[in-house]
Amino acid sequence: MIRKGILLAAVVLLGTVGLVQAGPFESTRDDIGVTAGATYLSRYIWYGIDITADNHSAFQPFVSLDLWGTGWVFDTHWTRANDSGLENWEQLDYTLSYGGTCNQDSPFATDWRAGWRYYNHPDGPIRHSDGCTQDIDRQELFANFSWPAIASCGVIPSYTVVYVTPEEGGRNSNGCSTASHNGNSYLREGAGFVHIFGLGKDVPLPGASKQNLRLSADAVYNDGMGGTTGGNADHEWSHVNWGAQTSIAVDDTTTFTPGIVYQTTMDRSVNTSDEWWFFLTLSHLCN
């Protein structure tokens, strides 16, 4: 499985390089921009779902490649729970995306980014006492839009649509139905859309001339993706995330970003309780 993930990352990156070299892109830089860093998550919550059961924390190193300023970005995240017993949930994410800005000088200026993400679990598939196994790899297509000049008072509305699908269907090659393993199969069987409607605002911090606190509220409609009991989630407004974070410049190339999120859960097929977590991110621009 880990060879599969490494091969996938190499193919995606090489294919992207070929597209950039062959396509009619206007490059804004002469080299690849490399940003590396790591995030500590007090809980790993994914689209409202508590991935690491019983609220375990996770560590998430990452590398992001800005491909010559063309709008193409490739990044990878490695997510691993900090407690033992969750090795099968170790996760490598590979994301290829393209974005830009439309109508830049108008009130309807739109920042957008669209892409594809693959979730690889190198220690999978999960094995059960009855001999059945589950491959929990999955992938998604996503598109994000935000409008920085359309609202007053510095409020920035945004919309994100995501389609998540498992790598394979709901039945293993050995004939085992993944639905028989409640609590573990929802990431494999629960394909569907997620719609995220957000508002964000930067508030200047007192006594800090260039320091802002970013406040955010994201309302999420889950259109049947994932779930907590083996089947798909309900087609409902599933949760709202309330967030606050700030970025602190350590030096010209290093940034420390602490933040906190509270999740108001409205649908128990996605999560059985409200959640809160904090995160600490240290990132470094390598060139």
CA 17 to chain centre: 23
Residue 166: CATH number of its domain = 2.40.160.40
**Amino acid 82: pLDDT:** 85
pLDDT of 279: 98
Domain count, the chain: 1
Identify the burial level of 201 via C-beta atoms within 10 angstroms of its C-beta, where 0-12 means exposed, 13-18 middle and 19 or more buried.
middle
pLDDT for 87 equals 65
pLDDT of residue 128: 54
Least Cα distance to 235 among 245, 244, 226, 248 occurs for 226
Q: What's the pLDDT score for residue 187?
A: 54
Residue 147 near residue 159 (C-beta atoms within 8 A): no
Residues 109 and 156: beta-carbon distance below 8 Å: no
Domain, as residue range, for 106? 2-285
pLDDT of residue 222: 95
Residue-level pLDDT at 201: 96
Q: Pick from 137, 140, 121, 118: which is nearest to 178 by CA?
A: 137
CB atoms within 10 A of CB 229: 14
Q: Give the pLDDT means over successive 10-residue stretches in the chain (287 positions).
A: 44 43 54 96 91 81 96 95 74 96 93 96 64 72 97 94 76 47 49 95 84 96 76 86 96 96 94 94 94
Given this model, what pLDDT does residue 264 score?
Answer: 98
Overall residue count recorded for the chain in this entry: 287
